[in-house]
Amino acid sequence: MMPTPSTRSVPAGTGLQPQDRQAILQAEAEAACTELGRIDIKATALLSMAGTMFAIASAAITVKVPPPAELSAVGLGTVFLAAAIVMLLIVIRPALPRRGQNGYGFAAHAEATGPDELVTALTADPEHRLATEVLRLSLLARAKYTRLRRGVHLLLAALAVLVAALPLGVLA
């Protein structure tokens, strides 16, 4: 199996040329950007499913008033569902840095006061700039994956509670 940029390790002091180190850092930055795109796609798909679940739960309650036990279970399931939707929306929310923070990519470039400052910032220490970008993108991807995982757990809890509520209506 061919190692991907994120699984390849290059020990410090291996004598790599600066352009080789920059190429490795660039590959890592691209891998992190790809992961960020994948996370957003997953979160969007899960939001669609959560929206459908929410619509079904809402319709079920409005068609016929369920017995108290079922209504309580559906209410709890809906709370989990709403929490999952909020968590997934946070995943796809744009994560631009606040004013005064450097950020990365175009957000960092927007802080430049003119073309000369931008060229200086991009060329002063490209290896350090790329390494900083890789770190920031990787941290962002990890945070988004953590939130995505929490959103999935909340969706699973909502599904379990809503499925458990079904027999309560039949038994009443």
For position 9, what pLDDT does the model report? 54
- List the chain residues with pLDDT less than 50: 1-3, 7
Question: CA-to-CA distance for 86 and 29, rounded, in angstroms?
Answer: 28
Grouping H, G, I as helix, E, B as strand and the rest as coil, residue 18 is: helix
Please write the tens of the pLDDT for every residue from 65-77.
888 888 899 899 9
For position 140, what pLDDT does the model report? 92
For position 3, what pLDDT does the model report? 46
For position 135, what pLDDT does the model report? 92
Percentage of residues of the chain with pLDDT beyond 90: 44
So where are the chain's domains? 18-171
Residue 51 phi/psi, 5-degree rounding, is -65, -40
Q: Are 142 and 37 in contact (CB under 8 A)?
A: no
Spell out the residues 6+ positions from residue 53 whose beta carbon is closer than 8 angstroms to its own. Answer: 81, 155, 158, 159, 162
Please write the tens of the pLDDT for every residue from 73-108.
989 999 999 999 999 999 999 876 665 566 666 777
Spell out the residues 6+ positions from residue 82 whose beta carbon is closer than 8 angstroms to its own. Answer: 54
The four Cα atoms 76, 82, 86, 89 give a dihedral, to 10 degrees, of 140
Residue 31, phi-psi category: left (phi > 0), alpha (psi -120 to 50), beta (remainder):
alpha
Q: Are 16 and 120 in contact (CB under 8 A)?
A: no
For position 13, what pLDDT does the model report? 54
